[in-house]
Amino acid sequence: MVFNFLAIRFKNIHLPFGIMDTICKASEDPATAYLPDSRLSLGLEDVYIKPTRLTYIDGERGELRYLGYRIEDIISSGASAEVIQYAFLYGKLPDDSELARFRALVEKGYELPDYVVSSVAALPRSSDVVGMQAVAMASLAAGSDFQWRKIHMPDTFATMLGQMAAITVIALRHAMGKEPKLPSPTASYARSFLVALQDKEPSDEKVRALDQAIILYLDHEVPASTTAGLVTVSTLADPYSAVLSALAALRGPLHGGATEGVMAQLNEVGEPQAAKEWFEKNVASGKKRLMGFGHRVYKAYDPRALIFKSIAMKLASEGQLHKMLTTALALEQVGLKSLAVKGIYPNADFYSPIVYASLGIPYAKGAYTAMFALSRTAGWLAHFEEYVQMGGRIIRPRALYIGPAPRTLAPKT
Ligand code: CMC
């Protein structure tokens, strides 16, 4: 009875390995039938695992705020990435001298140890770029003797932001077949990144767009990647190991890996005129999900999607990029017509790949997810520290046993 109710409750969840059958059969199992279903929360939907002062999402109204500031206001204020990174790590906006000191701490991180650079260089150039970031992060974790303390220590995390920028540059350059090169200080996180990646001065428009992209992806409360990192931090493992966990979770196609899925989707659709037919054949038929659409929390437009869209419309004004943009616009219309009634709208990943492509970020395996990771590192670290500061306990949930009833194993004769 209990398990039949479970089957109804979870009818929308596609469980692997016939687990739903197992759950239903288990109702006849005296060892498990008494367990109340209310203990289960698949996907931890609406489970609150920590309080936070960092990010607020109103999924019904499509609202996102960082430290109380609306994302739209932050973007139109012209704030640089490092101003918002500072706000996440230190809990307030910086004045000029605080910002200068923060930049110096970040720039210290650009000087990666040689063993980190060579750990990436040793990988095949065809490796996934997030995988390369993870290898570099694992090298830093291996050499870390970091101890969490109850005192606030954001300076350490500032330097980790510089390390993440340097790691992302060497990983992307490796994928592009280029020699390793570390960023140099330029008084702008975004500019230093683009100069080191592309060996040339970027336009102010591109630097501004990267600043905006970093801010848009900087934090999003506790999605799968942040939660994975929090699980690691809750054991008091070092922050490099926690970022490594977060990277691993980000990589999947349902989370940050959706940026790759969106690119593949746009290439498959090919041109705006083909959007309707492609959607009918692939999404309406139930064969595929529309990548870059849908969100666990937003049941309205993801506000980041709207801002990414406006940036893409400024940058992708001609050639192949413009074609990609018009294809995305057509696909969005078709998708909305059929999915908006279910509360499924474009998410941040729908237009961000076009912004990345316009910035000249190479379309290598995992490259756009790696850009997402670069942005999210400040949010991850801020949540990790917030969790330790509030005395967060080890995260140790339970699994509801539905296996065989107790039975005996006779000794071998
Ligand atoms: N296309 C078609 N149908 C969808 C989509 C989609 N993109 N997203 C959800 N649905 C349907 C799903 O098939 C299910 O339908 P039914 O009730 O008829 O079986 C219903 O909506 C509920 O789906 P769910 O998987 O239970 O919802 P969830 O909250 O567990 O999943 C999600 C959220 C983001 C994993 C999902 O919307 C999805 O797979 N989207 C596509 C991948 C994507 O764009 N991910 C990026 C997420 S946001 C930014 C980021 O984190 O990177």
In 3-state terms, what secondary structure has residue 293? Answer: strand
Q: Which CATH architecture has domain 55-251+377-389?
A: Orthogonal Bundle (1.10)
Distance from chain centroid for Cα 249: 8
- Crossing angle of helices 96-108 and 189-198, rounded to 10°: 30
Please tell me if the CB atom of residue 294 comes closer than 6 angstroms to any atom of ligand 1: yes
Please tell me if the CB atom of residue 283 comes closer than 6 angstroms to any atom of ligand 1: yes
Within 13 A of 309's CA, how many CA atoms are on the CB side? Answer: 18
Sequence spans of domains, the chain:
2-42, 55-251+377-389, 258-358
Please tell me if the CB atom of residue 147 comes closer than 6 angstroms to any atom of ligand 1: no
Centre of ligand 1 from the C-alpha of residue 123, in Å: 33
285 secondary structure, DSSP code = T
CATH code, 258-358: 1.10.230.10
Centre of ligand 1 from the C-alpha of residue 336, in Å: 14
Which letter, b or e, does each residue of 116-139 get, where b requires 16 or more Cβ atoms within 10 Å of its Cβ? bbebbeebeeebbbbbbbbbbbbb
Q: What pLDDT, in 10s, does the model give residues 194-216?
A: 999 999 999 999 999 999 999 99
Asked if residues 369 and 259 have their Cβ atoms less than 8 Å apart, the reply is yes
Q: What pLDDT, in 10s, does the model give residues 91-133?
A: 999 999 999 999 999 999 999 999 999 999 999 999 999 999 9
Known catalytic membership, residue 255: yes
R_g (Cα) of the chain, nearest Å: 23
Q: DSSP characters for 120-173? A: HHTS-TTS-HHHHHHHHHHHHHHT------SS--HHHHHHHHHHHHHHHHHHHH
Q: How far is CA 16 from CA 77, 98, 342, 384, in A?
A: 46, 51, 24, 31
Q: DSSP characters for 342-400? A: GT--B-TTTTHHHHHHHTT----TTHHHHHHHHHHHHHHHHHHHHHHHTTPPP------
The pLDDT, as a whole number, for residue 8 is 32
Please tell me if the CB atom of residue 128 comes closer than 6 angstroms to any atom of ligand 1: no
Q: Which of 128, 211, 219, 349 is catalytic?
A: 349
Query: In a mutational test of the pocket of ligand 1, which residue from 12, 338, 345 has the highest number of ligand atoms less than 8 Å from its CB?
Result: 12
Please tell me if the CB atom of residue 190 comes closer than 6 angstroms to any atom of ligand 1: no
Whose tokens are 């600043």? That residue is: 211
Averaged over successive runs of 10 residues, the pLDDT of the chain (413 residues) comes to 35 36 46 63 92 98 98 98 98 98 97 97 98 98 90 92 98 98 95 98 97 98 98 97 98 97 96 98 97 97 98 96 98 98 98 98 96 98 96 93 93 88
Q: Which helix (H) or strand (E) covers residue 84, if one does? A: helix 81-90
